[in-house]
Amino acid sequence: MPQRTSGATGHLPTPSRATRWRHAVSDFFAELGRSSPARLLLIVFTAMIGVFTALLSLPISAADGQRTPFVDALFTAVSAICVTGLVTVDTGTHWSTFGLTVIMVAMKVGGLGVLTLASLLGLSVMRSMGLAQRLIAARETRAEQLAEVGGVLRTIVITSTAFEVATFVALTPYMVVTEHGFGESLFLGLFYAISAFNNAGFVPEAAGTAQYLADPFFTVPVGLAVAVGSLGFPVILAVARAWRTPKRWSLHAKLTLATSGILLVAGWAGLLLMEWSNPSTLGGQSVGTKILASAFASIMPRSGGFSTLDIGQMTGESRLFIDLLMFIGGGSGSTGGGIKVTTFALLVLSIWAEIRGNPDVETFGRRIPQETIRQAIGVLVMSSAVVFVATFVLLRITPFTLDQTLFEALSAFGTVGLSTGITPDLSSPAKYVIIVCMYVGRLGPMTLGAALALRQRSRMVRLPLERPVVG
């Protein structure tokens, strides 16, 4: 009589210990993602920082074959994962080809991680809110339920990679023409493409980007990649899906594009005027070079971090103006940092509505919910507090001036990467301050916005209304 198989008896094979462990980890992260997406984001980013710090600490990562000090390896890993670009060691000379490859992968993972995790956070927040907000999320992502997020994330990967490939194709032939070797040109083109679109600002050449001051074949593709990357995937997707009919773009896309355009033109004109006669920057250049260099400099504070001008030699007014642009940063859901363009726009619109005596904040034929304005104010206050504390601590533990420390703190918080030149001279405690500032700057406003949205609740009893004196 034939024996019954395990399937015939109704018993399934006992899963192995490794399988049970994988299932347990998967269930843990799934539950954590449902209950606290912000906490999941912190865990993932911290884990990535640990991995890349270990890789950069290996002797093979350094050009001289020596182990890089832990604080410098950690600083570089955080700067790459948070797509900032501030460095304590010269990127072009200190790191080997292996080390530069690790940094390049970290920039790609960091930028892509921000985009995908931001999308997951956004969808998680929308699902916890009302029907109107869920419909808005479905319209912008073309995902009617959270289960479809995989398709959205695949689109993000494809789109970001396509822009990086386009930048690579534009830069590599130019690198070959400018007497770089073919292999070196391929590497430099890929490195700059990833660094530019992800707004990381790392430069793999010892000569830096100052050599490209008057060179449109470098500054134009890099500037365009930075500008597009700083807009954010929701905007890119909205424009790509309805590029012939701007009226169908989402309010977020319209607000981001309009505000970004205004900031770009204002920064271009402001820096051009303030640096026009400065002999240390634009004073001795031709009119065409002045226009090109000031346009490039106007894009970079959005979180790009590349610089063809010496920031330390700029006028005090220019640096203060760049401070403001760095604090505003890029678009929501982008590789840029700062308080975000839409946050700044909503604050300006709310002030304008108050001046006009309008009870509602309105733009592009739409009314902005009051809870959204409160979230914008919360992000502004918390971000200002982080920058203030970081600047205060740097002033206490370093010999540098308020102008220099404020610029450094804003550049770190805005994940920009521009510097007046003091970063390599920071003490170890000061480096840790900047590390924390980069970490909080990359994750703080986004997680704060999600937390504020998730904490909304209705109350059965409301206290009596009384208006205090304001102003």
For the residues of 221-254, what is the DSSP string, one character each?
HHHHHHHHHHH-HHHHHHHHHSTT-GGGS-HHHH
pTM: 0.83
User: What is the residue type of 360?
Assistant: D
Q: How far is CA 250 from CA 124, 238, 447, in A?
A: 19, 7, 23
Element (H, E) at 437: helix 428-454
pLDDT tens digits, one per residue of 60-110: 999 999 999 999 999 999 999 988 999 999 998 999 999 999 999 999 888
Q: Tokens 């920064």 label which residue? A: 267
- How high is the pLDDT of residue 11? 54
**Distance (Å, rounded) from C-alpha 281 to C-alpha 442?**
30
pLDDT tens digits, one per residue of 203-217: 999 888 999 998 999
Do residues 110 and 48 touch, judged by C-beta distance below 8 A?
yes
Q: What is the DSSP letter of 425?
A: G
- How high is the pLDDT of residue 126? 43
**Distance (Å, rounded) from C-alpha 286 to C-alpha 339?**
35
**Distance (Å, rounded) from C-alpha 203 to C-alpha 222?**
12
Do residues 309 and 213 touch, judged by C-beta distance below 8 A?
yes
**Distance (Å, rounded) from C-alpha 186 to C-alpha 339?**
35
**Distance (Å, rounded) from C-alpha 410 to C-alpha 408?**
6
- How high is the pLDDT of residue 360? 84
* Long-range contacts, 35-44 (Cβ 8 Å, 24+): 37/120, 37/121, 37/124, 37/125, 37/450, 38/121, 38/447, 38/450, 38/451, 40/117, 41/117, 41/121, 41/443, 41/446, 41/447, 42/443, 42/447, 44/113, 44/117
**Distance (Å, rounded) from C-alpha 192 to C-alpha 170?**
11
Nearest partner of 99 among 189, 169, 187, judged by Cα: 187
> Residue 141, Cβ neighbours under 10 Å: how many?
22
Element (H, E) at 363: strand 361-363
Question: Rounded to 5 degrees, what angle do the CA atoms 154, 158, 161 make?
Answer: 135
- How high is the pLDDT of residue 87? 93
pLDDT tens, the chain, 471 aa long: 444 444 444 555 666 666 666 555 555 544 544 545 556 667 777 888 999 999 999 999 999 999 999 999 999 999 999 889 999 999 989 999 999 999 999 998 888 765 455 544 544 444 443 333 333 333 333 343 444 445 556 667 778 888 999 999 999 999 998 878 889 999 999 999 999 998 898 999 988 899 999 899 999 999 999 998 888 877 887 887 777 888 888 888 899 999 999 999 999 999 999 999 999 999 989 999 999 999 999 999 988 889 999 998 999 999 999 999 999 988 877 777 888 899 999 999 999 988 888 888 888 888 888 888 888 888 899 899 999 999 999 999 999 999 999 999 999 999 898 999 899 999 999 999 999 999 888 877 556 555 555 555 566 676 787 667 766
Question: Per-domain residue ranges for the chain?
Answer: 28-454
Token pair in block for residue 453: 């949205």
Do residues 95 and 62 touch, judged by C-beta distance below 8 A?
yes
